[in-house]
Amino acid sequence: MKYFLGALIGAVIGFAYYKFVGCSTGTCPITSKPLNASLYGAVMGLLVAGIR
């Protein structure tokens, strides 16, 4: 359960980063598309949830 929540929270944070910060030039590999940013956030959230 904690892994799922970690991935979900990470995906939301990743999408929020795309939405509010984003990439002004469109050439950033992670933040240029919402799917990439969300997947990256989900992976990071999963990793952080696995630490404890």
Q: How confident is the model at residue 43 (pLDDT cuts 50, 70, 90)?
A: very high
Average pLDDT, the chain: 92
CA 17 remoteness from chain centre = 8
How many CB atoms sit inside 10 A of residue 41's CB? 23
Residues 6+ apart with CB under 8 A from 38: 11, 14, 15, 18
Provide the pLDDT for residue 27: 87
Provide the pLDDT for residue 19: 93
This prediction has a pTM of 0.87
Arithmetic mean of pLDDT, 16-36: 90
Arithmetic mean of pLDDT, 26-41: 91
Provide the pLDDT for residue 23: 87
